[in-house]
Amino acid sequence: MKRTEFSVLIGLIISIIITSVSAFAADCENIRSDTLRLHILANSDSAADQELKLKVRDAILEKSPTLFEGSVSLEDAVKSAEASLSEIKATAEEEIFANGYNYSVNAYLCDMYFETREYEEFTLPAGNYKALRIEIGAARGKNWWCVLFPPLCLINTESDTGEELEVRSAFWDWIT
């Protein structure tokens, strides 16, 4: 192989790699810019506070289909979340008080960084996402998150250690 042919081949390979990386980066940005995540922080890492966090999660997820009904874009979902912040906070407070605690609750929208999470069928890339954040009490415990929009929640069926997950999609449930 001549030097010129070798140079052209190397140039072609580099071009293909750069194009692939650029396409992947664009896909990742599309995911991040079209996703609203729910992020719940427990008061502490005690077993009771972790259990309470999951009860708050369940109460909020029970209401989320009606809160985000009709949302067809991230912008719609964010507007719905903003309009529902007091209701979301009240739902969390009611669950906390019903379980015998008097922790404060802070609920707000923010941009926050999430690490890459890989699952069997998809990957959520690392980066900044729009998030509905709920802080229970001192908010110094382990967190739990899911994707509110598009409606996809990752619910751990065993414990909150990430060992066994049930992937649920409202869209998939609707079409099947």
| Chain segment 115-147, per-residue pLDDT in tens | 887 767 777 788 898 999 999 999 999 998 888
- Could you tell me whether strands 152-156 and 165-169 are parallel, antiparallel, or unpaired per DSSP bridges? antiparallel
Triad 46, 47, 48: Cα angle to 5°: 90
Residue 78 in tokens: 């964010």
What amino acid occupies position 151? P
How far apart (Å, rounded) are the C-alpha atoms in residues 51 and 76?
Answer: 31
User: What pLDDT is stored for residue 29 in this prediction?
Assistant: 46
Q: Which residues of the chain have pLDDT under 50?
A: 19-30, 154-176
pTM: 0.69
* pLDDT value of residue 160: 44
pLDDT value of position 58: 93
User: What is the Cα–Cα distance from 153 to 147, expressed in whole angstroms?
Assistant: 5
Residue 170 CB partners (closer than 8 Å, separation 6+): 65, 151, 152
